[in-house]
Copies of this chain bind each other. A is one copy, B any other.
Amino acid sequence: MIKRLLSYFFVFFAFNTIAQNVKPILVIHGGAGTISKANLTPEQEKEYHFVLNQALEAGMKILQNGGTSLNAVEASIKIMEDSPLFNAGKGSVFTSEGKNEMDAAIMDGKTLKAGSVAGVTTIKNPISCAKTIMQKSEHVMLIGKGAESFAKEQGLELVDPSYFYTDERYKQLKKAKEIEEKNKKGSGKIDVWKDYKFGTVGAVALDKYGNLAAGTSTGGMTNKKFNRVGDAPIIGAGTYANNKSCAVSGTGWGEFFIRTVVGHDISALVEYKNYSVKKAGEVVIKKVSDLGGDGGVIILDSKGNFSMPFNTEGMYRGYIKANGESKTFIYK
């Protein structure tokens, strides 16, 4: 009996020692696209770095205080959703009808639980709605009005759709429509206007318990039609996390990310072929390129190795380690 108790104690002790040895880390992105020095003023660059750092610090604070990767991912993404700089939450782009329709997803690498929301127009922080769906419902994905009813029932912060209006994004819609008019593209086609296709935000984190999480949030594509949904809320495409392999959040031309099942494909290469996160990311971004798509991903494994590959001109991105060391980047 005492022997058995001792062995339980040993297992408990060993587990906690291992768990406590994991050094938390957080990696974020704020979208990939035609981001070049020519397009950004030094002031704009500074603003982006500032908010990226705010997002990193908000997430790391949670991790340093013993919080979960899931909560860190949510906190980081909320900062970016609340900023007008990124195409998510407050800064979401406009649909063809002049609305802001948002998608988001979150996934817990330990339990493989996930939550996802698409086509919502009144939820201030779609990432929090995704987390609540994961934790408080038996569903994974809710869309449109139904998702909003759920959010209301759960007491999440709802806002008037006008909250998401920003002059900058509205100008982009007008410009996209002008180009569309010129192109005279047929119906059902989107305007593939590189500058305004991207801007999704995302985060991946590893907590001190050794658990991974991933989250992604987006306003989608400027001038999108027909309630189009991209890869962000698709578990396995724009968002995926699994302690056995890695956590992934994507940003890019959603249609190609869905067809390539980017998140799960990276995870499968790590788990089944023992690829490093670096190699897996490169291989899968090449698959996206080969189909004609573009974008980037952030990847983090349960040992804290991370990678941030992209095939566009730039990607807003950064990382922060448990010792506070952090760095943010915009260009290649």
Contact = CB atoms under 8 A, between A and B. Distances in A.
B154 A188 contact: yes
Contact of A236 (B149, B190, B225, B261): B261
A11 interface: no
B146 A228 contact: yes
A145 B260 contact: no
Contacts of A227: 142-147
Contact of A138 (B149, B240, B255, B258): B255
Interface in A63-84: none
Interface string A35-49: 000000000000000
A255 B136 contact: no
Nearest to A143: B227
Contact of A146 (B187, B190, B225, B265): B225
A146 B95 CA distance: 11
A144 B144 contact: yes
Contacts of A149: 226
Contact of A258 (B140, B146, B190, B228): B140
A291 B112 CA distance: 9
B143 A118 contact: yes
Interface stretch (A1-9, A201-209, A266-274): A266-274
Interface string A239-256: 010000000000000110
A65 to B, nearest CB: 28
A12 B269 CA distance: 34
Interface in A191-211: 192
A261 B240 contact: yes
A190 B147 CA distance: 14
Contacts of A272: 268-269, 272-273
A19 to B, nearest CB: 22
Contact of A235 (B144, B145, B146, B237): B237
Contact of A265 (B139, B268, B273): B268
A140 B255 contact: yes
A114 B153 CA distance: 34
Contacts of A192: 138
A259 interface: yes
Contacts of A17: none
Interface of A: 112-114, 118-119, 136-147, 149-150, 153-154, 187-190, 192, 225-230, 234-237, 240, 254-255, 258-261, 264-265, 268-269, 272-273, 291
Given A141-B229, A236-B261, A264-B264, 5 more contacts: A113-B259, A141-B234, A143-B143, A150-B225, A236-B236
18 contacts: A112-B259, A114-B258, A114-B259, A118-B229, A137-B188, A138-B192, A139-B188, A139-B190, A140-B254, A140-B255, A142-B228, A143-B227, A150-B188, A150-B226, A153-B188, A234-B235, A236-B261, A264-B264
